[in-house]
Amino acid sequence: MKRPLTYRPAQQPSRYEQRRDADQRRGSAAQRLYGARWRAARLAYLAAHPLCVMCEAKGKIEAAEVVDHVRPHRGDLQLFWDEANWQSLCAPCHDRDKQSAERRGVLKPWGDDAWDR
Inside any domain, residue 20:
no
Q: Is the entire prediction scored with pTM above 0.75?
A: no
Distance CA 30, CA 76 (A): 15
Counting every residue written for the chain, the total comes to 117
Output the DSSP codes for 36-67: HHHHHHHHHHHHHS-B-HHHHHTT---B--EE
Pick 60 or 23 by higher pLDDT: 60
Inside any domain, residue 23:
no
- What sign for the dihedral angle of Cα 77, 78, 79, 83? positive
Inside any domain, residue 57:
yes
Average pLDDT, the chain: 81
- Full residue range of the structural domain in which residue 76 is found: 50-117
pLDDT tens digits along 32-75: 577 888 999 999 999 999 999 999 999 999 999 999 998 888 88
Inside any domain, residue 38:
no
